[in-house]
Structure formats: C-alpha cells, structure tokens
Structure 1
Amino acid sequence: MADRGLGSGPLNDVKPLGGGTQNIMLTFDRDGRRYVLRRGPRHLRPRSNDAIARETRVLSALKETSVPHPHLVALCEDSSLLNGAIFYLMDPVDGFNASLELPTVHAGDPSVRHEMALNIVDSLAALGSVDYHKVGLTDFGKPAGFLERQVPRWLSELESYKQFEGYGDPDIPEVERVAEWLDQNRPAWWQPGIMHGDFHLANVMFDRSSANVSAIVDWEMSTIGDPLLDLGWLLATWQLPEAPSIFGGAFMQSSGLPAPAHLVARYAERSTRDLTGIHWYVVLACFKLGIVLEGTHARAVADLAPKETGDELHTTTLRLFERALQIMDGEQ
C-alpha cells in the first residue's frame, strides 16, 4: 500500500465482512481512509486467483460507465504475501443487502420496495448497454458459440457429481426434457455484451435512505456472453418458493413487488435488446443455476459440505426445475 501511495502506518479496526460464501473480505482503516480487501477463499481453488483478477478487470472497465459498482483502488498480484492468494482493495459500499435486512424506510413502504425492484432492472440494463470493446474487454470472454455451449457444459457438470460417494444419479425430474427444449428453442441471434454471471438479489446493494442501487457486487463469474441470461437469472430467482435467503429473505417475501412481466417490460424500456425469447433465458437460468446448486448437495451427500445446506440447495434446485417446466408448458 505504501508503494502505491495508499497512506502510511498500521491497519486499524480490521473486521471481517460477510455476505459471501466463498471469498474472504475484510475492512480496515489506514491513515484516515477506509478500505475493503477481497481475496479468494482460505483454501484456494485452482482458479481462485484468476477469478479475483477477472473481477478487478471488470471493475476497472466499468469505471467511466453508469453501472453502479464498487470503486477499485488497487490489485496486488504478488501471491507470496497472503499464502498464495492475490487480492485487491476497493472503497467500501455505503449500502445494505436486501436479502438480509430491510431498513425502516424500505420495510415500511411498498412503493419504495417496488422502486427498488425497478432499479435493479435499470442497473442490469445499464450493464447490458456497455460496449465491451470500448471499455477494453474485447478479449475478456469467448462470445462465439456461447449459447450453444451452455447445455452440454452443464449436463457435463451434473454428470461429474457422480464422483461423490453416495450421490449416484441426480434426483432432479426431467433434466433431459429441459435440456432438449433448450436446444430446440435456442435463439437464432443474440448480441454479446458484459455479463455479471450471477445476478440475483444478494449481489445488489441499496442505498440506506432511498430506493437507489448503490452497487452490483461479486463479479467473479463475469464474462462476455449474452446479458439476457443475467435478466433470466433474476427472473428465475424472483420470489422463488422455498428459496434460501440469498434468493428470498425479507425483500422477496414483502408486498409491493412488481411481477416478472413488469420487470421484463422495464428492461425493454431501458434496452434495445430483443426480448421476444426471454422465457428461453429464464429456463436456461433455472437449468444452469439448479445444476450449480446441486453440486453442493452432491458434496453434502459425501460429507464434504453441511447436510442442512445441501438439503436446502437441493430443494431450491427442484423449485428451479419446476419453474422451468412451468414456463416450458406455458403455465408462467
């Protein structure tokens, strides 16, 4: 930090920050300024440092855009300092996570919550409108064949769970039917853009005194792909029955929230993207996210993750596939 001109003296008031399930975040003061440090998990995975580096690249690229995001201070790529982990510093975000709490002004007024929901969509549309070439992200992903890769990629992931002792075949109804529907109904044309990759309520922070979005956070799954999958992800998790707190919480259980069709209409007002196939993206989001969550269930069966967490996420997977089937059958 001293070499980067980021103050002098000791680090004071060091505190852990929650909200995520994998990466480690700490906040501290130095020389009168507050910082947030973010790094990979304590037990690094093979691509943990790559994910941290990718996050910083996106945050840097978004600096001059209207997309609400944390302000990047600096990246440290010297992995020798923290037992193999690279890390970055950012400014704290002054806001709250609506999946965990609702301040009085938000809890007491349905119109505020309604506006919060619309502002989520506005932020997402702003991200989808960024020209990734102009902000230096031309080589950040592989958009060619992105949609075609999704179904085989995630079927392969589901198949890999058989390695976990005791898991066997997945207890997810009609996986193959959903996969076949996705292949048969894939949009013929789409427009590449910056994707967040895990866009749901818990990854959006709000201003404590208004309905404004303070920042979209947790960019480790970002890439260049189809931004409509981010909208599909939001709709897939919107008021999902029996969902864990990250997809539900006090906000999703409250009154005044717009229906999914209203969210789509709001996005259409803010974007030039073709939304005629949005149901396909919601089904893909249900399929992909459901398989991702099922991985924790598979590990829990093998005693590699808490059983309670595995059971909760398996239930969420079932609800996601139920939603996908309802959409496919024209019930939603």
Structure 2
Amino acid sequence: MFIDNSRAAVQDWDAVAHYLAGQGMTFDREREIRQFASGIANLNYLVSLDGKSAVFRRPPDNDAPPGAYDFARQYKILSRLGKCLPTIPLGLAYCDDPSVIGVPFLISEFRQGLAISRELPVQLAAVDDIGGKLGALIVDALAQLHRIDPAEAGLADLGKAEGFIARQIHGWHKRASRVMSGESMRKVERLRDWLVAHQPAERPGTLVHLDFKLDNVLVDTDSLSVQGIVDWEMATIGDPCYDLMLMLVVWGEPNDSPVYTQQCCMPCRAPGWWTRRQALQAYQRQTGIQMSEAQVKFYWLLAMLRNVGALAQLIALYQRQPMPNASTLDMPTVLATTLDHAVDLTVRPLDW
C-alpha cells in the first residue's frame, strides 16, 4: 500500500500546513505521512487534516503534456459529485498557488478499501465466485455513474457532449504526433482515418470517468462493496460507451491473446471472472444503452488509440525524467503490439 519511507518523494509539509491554516484547516505535522505505492505519475500521500485521515495528491516535477494533471477539474468533481454519490471521496482542499510547493495540490477524504489490480488479493482467494462478484461490482459502479444527471450534480458545465468523440479521435492523434514519428505515426494515422470514417451517431452525454478500472475502485473485502472511486482528473461529460470500452480494453480474459494480456489491469484469472461480453451485456441491461456490433468495434478501436497515445506520452515522460515508482511494464513493447493489433482490426472482425 505504501512505499518505503527511504524512497518517498520529500514534500515541504510545513508550507502545506501554513497554507491550509490560512484556509481555516489544521494539517497535522505530528502524524506520520506515508506515500502510497499506487499511481504511475501523480504522487499520493496519507495525511491528517482536521483530525481525520485524508489523501494529499500532487503532480510530479516535470513538463507535463497539455491537459495532464488538471487538479482544478478533479477538485471540482470531488467537491460536487462527492455530495450526491456516496462512493466518491469528498474534495476537502485545493491549492493552485505555485508559490506554496511549486505545483498545485488537492486533498480529499481518505476511504479505507483495497485497490485490486491483476493479482487477486489473498484475503479474497477463498470467496466463492469472487471473479463474478468483482465483475458485477465494477460494472454496477460504472452504470451508476452514467445514470447520474450532470446538472443535478452541479457539473453540467464540466464538458461539452457535442463533438466529444470527434475530439477524442483528433485529440489522441495530436498527442501521439507530439511524441511519435516514422512508421509508428503512419499507423496511428491509418487508425485515425478509420475511426473518422466509421464514427457512429452522437449519444446523449453523461458523466464519464475515462479511467474506470478496479485499481481505481476501493473495495471493502468483507462486504465486497465499493468504498471509494478515485482518480477523477480526466473526467468530463461525454459518451458513456467510450467510458465503458476504456474499462473493457483493460478487462482481460484467461485465454486472451498476448496483446490484450499486456494491457490487462484486472484479476481476470479469478474464479468466475466475467468475459467482456458478459460485462457488456450487464452494462446494457442496467443502463438501457445498446450498441450494434459495428459500434462495439468502433469504441474498442477508439479505446486502443487512446491507450497508444497515453503509452507514448508516458514513455516520453520517463525518458525525460525517470521516476523511482514508475511502472515496470515494458511500455515500448506494449505500445508497438497494441498499435499493430489495432490497425489489423480495422480490416477484420473484432476478436472477442
């Protein structure tokens, strides 16, 4: 859960405490502060604010790509959505003054729970049909989010639904073009062109998380209930089918091809783990949103374009500034195989 204190990134906690005191809040400097092990780029710490456990979150020290680490947006979401959806940790404080510690930071409620990734935690290994239960849990949580009226949550101005998919296509192409070149970039352009030619009709917009997976969901291992949903900085108003497919592209199945295994972030070998089709069908039942097979393929390939662009950005980031808590995943290999597979799928049926 935490990294060793000897490897923790040092922060100016006295400056943080002074700033929060000016906002009428008490930051406990006597309590031990621990850095969470999770997170690829952002730095997250367990702290104490006004006598309660809280999470301090800040971006790394580097030249971030445009739009990255939008903490103002994340705080807006947490401070409003957290009031109407109990699984959202409430935003408590936000600082955009770079004179305090050099970067923005935010503080939110701490929620006790387990973030589950590819390996099933030992405390859940004996639970009957644990894979099916976890699959149902995360699909239900995503469907619940998509059923919320953005206006009722005070977030109607969070984004613009019109043109959302077109912006995703061209936005991820543009991001890739900043850090990719040669034959790889030509493949990205082929994928972009296919997506432009096959874009479906626009759907009504909903709140979308854009990184919804089990390691961003805090699970109570006794009740198997969602205690918190985290990492909201990319959230906006957009197409819920795209949000679903971003989850399914890292879903994983026991007999997946290597290209999908590389992207898997879920415990897909847990007994009873749902197939992607089961997850898709459950989501459609709960939301009433239906997709044709052609639309499923479109959103799948758009999700793969997004993964290609995100991986390319991370590779470039780590080349400029290696990080001690960076992922050990062979990202260049994953990038190359994902891109090749996505381009191949433009001329053949979806393979799941």
TMscore range, shorter length: 0.7 to 0.9
Task: Report the alpha carbon displacement of residue 327 of structure 1 after superposing the two structures with TM.
Answer: 7.6
Q: Which residue of 2 aligns with 1:76?
A: 95
Aligned Cα root-mean-square deviation (Å): 3.1
Whole-angstrom CA distance in 2 between matches of 1:211 and 1:316: 32
Q: Which residue of 2 aligns with 1:97?
A: 115
The answer on 1:175 being equivalent to 2:191 is no
Return 13-22 or 48-57, whichever deviates more. 48-57
SS in 1 for 2:204: coil
1:186 to 183, 196, 199: 199
Query: In the superposition, relative to structure 1, how do residues 65 and 46 fare at CA in structure 2: closer, same or farther (>3 Å)?
Result: same
The answer on 1:197 being equivalent to 2:216 is no
Matched-pair contact (CA < 8 Å) for 1:191–1:226: yes
Identity %: 26
Task: Give 5+ residue unaligned stretches, structure 2.
Answer: 1-19
Query: In the superposition, relative to structure 1, how do residues 39 and 49 fare at CA in structure 2: closer, same or farther (>3 Å)?
Result: farther
Relative to the length of structure 1, the TM-score reads 0.84
The answer on 1:252 being equivalent to 2:265 is no
Whole-angstrom CA distance in 2 between matches of 1:284 and 1:48: 19
Return 40-49 or 55-64, whichever deviates more. 40-49
Letter in 1 for 2:168: Q
Alignment coverage as a number of residue pairs:
323
Q: Which residue of 1 aligns with 2:283?
A: 267
Matched-pair contact (CA < 8 Å) for 1:297–1:309: no
Letter in 1 for 2:130: V
Query: In the superposition, relative to structure 1, how do residues 242 and 212 fare at CA in structure 2: closer, same or farther (>3 Å)?
Result: farther
Q: Which residue of 2 aligns with 1:165?
A: none
Q: Which residue of 2 aligns with 1:63?
A: 82
Task: Report the alpha carbon displacement of residue 126 of structure 1 after superposing the two structures with TM.
Answer: 1.1
Matched-pair contact (CA < 8 Å) for 1:105–1:209: no
Matched-pair contact (CA < 8 Å) for 1:28–1:36: yes
Whole-angstrom CA distance in 1 between matches of 2:51 and 2:314: 41
Letter in 2 for 1:261: R
Matched-pair contact (CA < 8 Å) for 2:250–2:263: no
Q: Which deviations, in whole Å up to 9, do the C-alpha atoms of 1:22-48 show, x marking residues without a partner? A: 222111235642221112223464768
Whole-angstrom CA distance in 1 between matches of 2:251 and 2:242: 14
Query: In the superposition, relative to structure 1, how do residues 118 and 216 fare at CA in structure 2: closer, same or farther (>3 Å)?
Result: same
Matched-pair contact (CA < 8 Å) for 1:36–1:92: yes
The answer on 1:34 being equivalent to 2:29 is no
Whole-angstrom CA distance in 1 between matches of 2:192 and 2:96: 40
Task: Report the alpha carbon displacement of residue 298 of structure 1 after superposing the two structures with TM.
Answer: 4.7
Q: Which residue of 2 aligns with 1:230?
A: 243
Task: Report the alpha carbon displacement of residue 72 of structure 1 after superposing the two structures with TM.
Answer: 2.0
